Amino acid sequence: MRVLVVVSSKHGATVGYGEAIADVLRSRGIEAGVFRPQSAPDPAGFDAVVIGSAVYTGHWMAEARDWAEFHADALRARPVWLFSSGPVGEPALPDPGDAVTLGDLPDRLGAREHRLFPGRLEKHRLGFVERALMTAVHAAEGDFRDWPAIDAWTEEIVRSLTPVRD
């Protein structure tokens, strides 16, 4: 069983999620590789694909969406899961219900599920404009990534990949 994990990240937080997903998959005996869209292989050689992106102003990064759209035919032919890393702070900002718009992408890929996970916002990693924007909306600074949640979600993926043995 081989699973392809493709992650799009501007400041590194989402790569961490991708590595965590791959760690859980490998711990279950599944071969897993984590790639940025620019260097990701063709999904055709894989049994399943997980695609994740950081969210900026309500959208996935263009490179993740472009990669998924380019490979839509191959992706539709295999199980695909999507995730986003976005809201920061407690309570979460933006509200998880408004954090990301994927449009018809999940349907076009035949994705099993899309999950939104909290993100990381550290001002020293941001450019001047990003920092000003985040200050203006009073976004909380910190690493809010939910490792137990990403591990549990990956375990769900593993269970649906593994044949049931009674």
Rounded to whole angstroms, the Cα distance separating 146 from 85 reads: 10
String of contacts with ligand FMN for each residue 3-22, x by CB under 6 A: ------xxxxxx--------
Stretch that binds ligand FMN, among 40-48, 68-76, 79-87, 153-161 (CB under 6 A): 79-87
User: What are the distances in angstroms from CA 162 to CA 1, 97, 112, 122, 145?
Assistant: 9, 31, 15, 38, 27
In the range 35-54, which residues lie near ligand FMN by CB under 6 A? Answer: 54
30/150 with CB nearer ligand FMN: 150
Selected from 25, 64, 99, 109, the binder of ligand FMN by CB under 6 A is 99
Rounded to whole angstroms, the Cα distance separating 48 from 1 reads: 8
N-term to C-term CA, the chain: 20
Shortest distance, position 15 Cβ to ligand FMN, whole Å: 6
Sign of CA dihedral 79, 30, 19, 36: negative
**Residues of this chain that bind ligand FMN (CB under 6 A):** 9-14, 54-58, 85-88, 94, 99-100, 119-121, 126, 130, 133-134
